[in-house]
Structures are given as structure tokens and as C-alpha cells.
Amino acid sequence: MTKIRVFIFLSTLVIVGIAGLFVSYYARGYRFDFKKFGFQPNGILVVKSEPDGASVIINGELKTATNATISLSPGIYDIEIKKDGFFTWYKRMTIEKEIVTQANASLFKNVPSLSPITSSGAVNPVTSSDGTKIAFAVPDAGLYTQDTFNLPLGFASDPKKIADGDFTNAVYAFSPDGRQIMLTASNGIFLLDSGSLTPQSGWVNITSRKDATLAEWRKEKETEDENLLKGLPPELTDILKRKTSSFLFSPDELMILYTASASASLPENLIKPLPGASTQRQERDIQPDHIYVYDVKEDRNFLISDRSSILRWMPGSRHLLLAQEGQVVIMDYDGTNRQVVYSGSYIAPFAFPFSNSTKLLILTNLGGNSATTNLYTLTVK
């Protein structure tokens, strides 16, 4: 009886050990090859899409639907994610053994819809630094602001008038925190609340304090930038300060969009490499007037454009908005998947993202004979 119990106990240990070994190997991407009668090292590809339920095609072969986990032998693969009514997402990705690689596709409509925001005209739209507000003038009617975030269902987010008058030829700019607007009009320079109407009787002319106010705003922006730069490697901080004409952190502060003003080289391994990091081609030798995105988390540097372009971050920090003559393009942060979400008549570069990435705001007359332009929302997701 004792021998039987010992046998059962030892058999249980062996079975549990073998099962544990299989589970361990499976979790690391290994799969049992019956032809070679042994475990073969694989990698794991995690495929997600928004919206989900899209087809996953690997090297031209339909595999599954998103969201899914796929085991692949090490190598280079062409990954396509397709869904009716949306642009196809494509990347060439490298799968490494025992490494989990992610393909996160945000799909955009290939037939977006337009809806008017204004009907009496709109000119000279200007966005706040955080992208949550846009100021514009309505001819002979006043200065307005539009929030770019969506309120819950049933609550309207209509343009707000903040000043009466004709500001068609005026100049206006947001403060760094977006709460104020400096309005330069024919009768003076004024600070206005960006969220409510200030009657002209309440305007205070700050012409004599303009330079001091702008200096305060610059200092506020520099302090904000310094706080963001503190956590970066010194070599990268030095390049951003001395070798760029401008840089802009993504909303999640994990990416940096910058324009080089001089040649420089980003040293390798500024940050410890992460397993499963992007395998897209990068450029660590930067050239003047070229635009790049540096991924702080993965220590990767991507060339976006070799010429001056108007680029803005989309709110999710995974995409860039390129506003150019005749078309609006959304691309992945590494410069891939450049998709023309709008082509036709619009006033470049006036295309701005809404805060939830589902809509854009564009300035256009829809190709009509009238010179009057209006703001329209363009639903892209």
C-alpha cells in the first residue's frame, strides 16, 4: 500500500512538472514541433485594433481577427489589418524568439463625414498649446473659441463668443495655459478670458505691458519645457536645446516631435532597450531642417519629414496630423501608415484634432465660388 502511494505521489510530481514545463515554454513562445519532436523557439505577436474585429493578414494569408495573440517563428513579416470602411493598416515587423511584439492599429474611415461648426464665416483659426481650444474670428460678429473635447451625449459644445467686433484682420494668441487670449486690434492690445464674453467696456489696454506679458508667457513655457526635460538623458537634452529649432512633447510626454537646426548624432542606448520594442527603421544621425520623433520609452528616433511641414500630435500620442496643401494626412508616430483622411478644398494648414481623436476641425469653403470659409468637423473614426 505504501509503495502504491509513493508511486502515485512521484507520478503526480512528474505529470505536474511536465505540464509546468509545457506551460512555461508555451508562455515564452515555444511550440512543440512533432516533425522535429522538440520545442521550437517562437515569438508572440499581439494584434489589437480600434475598432476591433478587423482581419489580420500575415504575409498575404488571413490568420484571425483582432484582438488576438499569434505565435510566429522568428523572422520578418508583413502585417496587414483590414476592416470594411477603413483604411488598411500595414507594417513590416520583425518577430524575435521569446519576445512579445505588439501591433496596435488605430483604423481611420476612408469615407469621413463633414458637419458644419460655423455658418456665418470663420477666419484665422489659432489653437492653444495644449490643443483643447481654437480661437477664430467671425467677420463683423466677433471673436470666438471652440473647445475640441467632446462633452457627454446631450451636452453641446458650441463656439463661445468672447469679444464683440470685427477682428478679421486682428492678431490673437493663447497664453501657455490656454485661459487667456492676447488680442491685438486696431485700437490696442487686450487680454481676454478665453472661455467667456468680455464686453468692450471691460477691456483693459495692456499695450504698455505687452512685452512684459509676452516675456512672462515665454518664461512659463520655458519652465514647463525644463520640467519635461529633467528626466531625459543629458545627451538628448543637450541636442534638444542646442540642435533643434523647436520641439514638442506628445500629450502623454513619452514622445518628442522636433525639427533639427544642425547636424548631430544620438548616441546608442541612451535608455536601456525594452524587449518587444519597435522594429521600424530609425535615424540617429539627424540633419538640419528634418523633422523627427524620438520615442523616450524605447530609445528610438524616427525620420518623419525631410522638409518643413506643419505637424501636430493627435491626442492619443500614437499619431501625427500633417496638414498640407490639398490634403490632410494622419500617420503613425514613426512615420508609417500615412493615410489621406481628407483631400480637396480646404485652407492649409488649418486642420486641428479633437481631443478624443475621432474628429478633426478644418477650415474650408468646400470648393464653392464663395470666398467665405467656415469651420467643419471631419469624423475620421
Q: Per-residue pLDDT averaged across 50-78, rounded? A: 92
- What's the pLDDT band for 148 if we cut at 50, 70, 90? confident
Return the pLDDT at 248: 94
- Residues 186-195: contacts with CB under 8 Å, at least 24 apart: 192/143, 192/162, 192/163, 193/162, 194/128, 194/133, 194/135, 194/145, 194/162, 195/145, 195/160, 195/162
Q: What's the mean pLDDT when you consider all of the chain?
A: 87
| pLDDT tens track for 318-371 | 999 999 988 999 999 999 999 999 988 899 899 999 877 788 999 998 876 667
Q: Tell me what the mean pLDDT of segment 217-225 comes to.
A: 93
Average pLDDT rounded to a whole number, residues 145-150? 82
End-to-end CA distance of the chain: 69
Residues 339, 108: contact at Cβ < 8 Å? yes
Q: What is the mean pLDDT of residues 148-173?
A: 78
Give domain limits for the chain.
Answer: 1-40, 44-107
* Percentage of the residues of the chain whose pLDDT score is greater than 70: 87
Q: In percent, how much of the chain has pLDDT > 90?
A: 64
Place of cell 517563428: 73
Asked if residue 64 has pLDDT above 60, the reply is: yes
Contact 134, 158 (CB under 8 A): no
44-107 CATH: 2.60.40.1120
d(Cα 349, Cα 352) in Å, to the nearest integer? Answer: 9
Average pLDDT value for residue range 41-64: 91
In which residue are the cell numbers 509503495 written?
3
> Does residue 96 register a pLDDT over 80?
yes
Residues 246 and 232: beta-carbon distance below 8 Å = no
For residue 19, name the pLDDT band (cuts at 50, 70, 90).
Answer: low
pLDDT given at position 24: 55
Tell me: pLDDT of 34 over 70: no
In the chain, the amino acid numbered 332 is D
pLDDT higher than 50, residue 291: yes
What is the model's pLDDT at position 350?
A: 93
Confidence bin at 138 (pLDDT 50/70/90): very high
Lowest mean pLDDT among 46-55, 148-157, 287-296: 148-157
pLDDT value at 77 more than 80: yes
* pLDDT over 80 (residue 287): yes
- pLDDT confidence of 111, banded at 50, 70, 90? confident
59-73, 80-94, 215-229, 344-358: which range is least confident on average? 344-358
Residue 218 pLDDT class (50, 70, 90 cuts): very high
3-state secondary structure (DSSP) of residue 228:
helix
